[in-house]
């Protein structure tokens, strides 16, 4: 009896537990990856770009659809945080391809317009955003902000108000002050 008890204790002590067998690691499920994407999307929507970058840092997603969402988020982050022309052109090219592949998803068209604006291509950006606004299809506060940056006077103020109404973080709706040239002021 004593030998059996000692053998049972020895086996229990020497045999690794299930957690030890995998080095106390955990296996991620699809839901875990989706949670990361949703968290990063929410952070981008709220204007917390640094947090979104940290959330997505070095993540590799198991499916093509998840990887596309992550690539979209990286392009948005590049668009809204970088001033490098090459990065902005990369974001523009990404959103152009995505808007052509998914023409019914208007977010891509709005993001493409935002990329054009960031690159100084105001006419292209304005045409896209005006079309979305006229059809009452503005996807988010950032689209209103981009169009407000391209507008003046009462229209600019109305678009600013629409941005503030839609935005979860009102601070993203800050508009640059309108700078008038010396010729314009002399004409007044």
**Model pLDDT for residues 36-57, shown as the tens digit of each residue:** 999 999 999 999 999 999 999 9
Cβ of 2: how many Cβ atoms within 10 Å? 6
40: Cα within 13 Å, side-chain hemisphere: 24
Q: Which of the two residues, 188 and 93, has the higher pLDDT score?
A: 93
CA torsion 108→110→115→117, rounded to 10°? 170
Q: For the chain, what percent of residues have pLDDT higher than 70?
A: 81
> Quick check: 17 pLDDT over 70?
no
pLDDT in tens, 98-133: 999 999 999 999 999 999 999 999 999 999 999 999
Alpha-carbon distance 87 to 93, whole Å?
Answer: 10
184: Cα within 13 Å, side-chain hemisphere: 4
Give the pLDDT of residue 97.
97
> Quick check: 183 pLDDT over 90?
no
DSSP state of 102: -
pLDDT band at 19 (very low <50, low <70, confident <90, very high): very low
């Amino acid at each position: 009896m004593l030998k059996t008890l000692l053998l049972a204790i020895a086996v229990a002590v020497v045999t690794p537990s299930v957690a030890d067998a995998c080095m106390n690691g955990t296996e991620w499920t699809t839901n875990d990856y989706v949670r990361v994407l949703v968290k990063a999307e929410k952070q981008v929507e709220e204007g917390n770009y640094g947090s979104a970058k940290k959330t997505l840092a070095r993540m590799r997603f198991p499916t093509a659809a998840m990887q596309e969402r992550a690539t979209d988020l990286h392009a948005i982050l590049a668009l809204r945080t970088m001033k490098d022309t090459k990065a902005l052109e990369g974001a523009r090219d990404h959103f152009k391809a995505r808007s052509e592949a998914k023409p019914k998803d208007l977010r891509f068209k709005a993001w493409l317009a935002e990329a054009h604006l960031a690159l100084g291509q105001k006419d292209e950006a304005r045409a896209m955003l005006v079309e979305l606004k006229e059809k009452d299809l503005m996807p988010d506060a950032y689209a209103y902000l981009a169009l407000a940056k391209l507008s003046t006077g009462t229209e600019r103020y109305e678009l600013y108000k629409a941005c503030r109404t839609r935005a979860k973080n009102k601070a993203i709706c800050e508009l640059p002050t309108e700078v008038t040239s010396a010729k314009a002021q002399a004409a007044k």
